């Protein structure tokens, strides 16, 4: 999918799951919810957890490392298609980054923002900037 399609899909799911019921939330609150996902990503990194893992299905207390290359990771599709099996919640830095992107996509979908064009425009501008522009050290 292209970026704007992800924005539409993320927003449609958020609506379906009830996250847009009631009075609209202000932009500042929605931006801080994006930031909170980044804070959760930082905490996952500080704990030294793998980028993607799940809690073991038996007792949900031990991390079970899964990556896109693991059989367990690919097995999630089979679990998802069987309503009798619980789906282990993915955790980790990569998952929290995904949560942030999903919130951004939802926001852009709700506000009809052409994020794909904005990214392309900003990238093209960044290509013109000098090395470590603006005198910033980090």
pLDDT for the residue numbered 1: 93
Share of the chain above pLDDT 70, in %: 76
Measured distance CA(33)–CA(37) in Å, rounded = 7
- How many C-alpha atoms does 113 have within 13 Å on its Cβ side? 13
**pTM (2 d.p.):** 0.80
Average pLDDT, the chain: 85
What is the 8-class DSSP label of residue 42?
A: H
pLDDT for the residue numbered 66: 57
**Over residues 75-92, mean pLDDT:** 65
CB 79 within 8 A of CB 85: yes
Share of the chain above pLDDT 90, in %: 63
Measured distance CA(88)–CA(44) in Å, rounded = 17
Measured distance CA(97)–CA(37) in Å, rounded = 7
Q: Tell me the backbone φ, ψ of residue 53, rounded to 5 degrees.
A: -155, 170
For 59-75, give the DSSP string: TS-SEEE--TTSHHHHT
pLDDT for the residue numbered 84: 61
pLDDT for the residue numbered 133: 85
**Over residues 5-19, mean pLDDT:** 98
CB 29 within 8 A of CB 137: no
């Amino acid at each position: 999918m292209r970026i704007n399609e992800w924005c539409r899909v993320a927003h449609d799911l958020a609506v379906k799951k009830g996250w847009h019921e009631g009075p609209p939330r202000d932009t500042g609150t929605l931006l801080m919810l994006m930031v909170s996902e980044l804070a959760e990503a930082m905490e996952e990194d500080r704990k030294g957890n793998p980028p993607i893992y799940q809690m073991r299905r038996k007792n949900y207390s031990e991390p079970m490392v899964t990556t896109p290359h693991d059989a367990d990771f690919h097995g999630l599709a089979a679990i998802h298609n069987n309503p009798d099996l619980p789906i282990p919640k993915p955790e980790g830095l990569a998952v929290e980054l995904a949560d942030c992107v999903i919130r951004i996509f939802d926001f852009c979908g709700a506000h009809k923002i052409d994020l794909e064009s904005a990214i392309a425009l900003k990238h093209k501008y960044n290509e013109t900037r000098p090395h470590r522009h603006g005198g910033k050290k980090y």
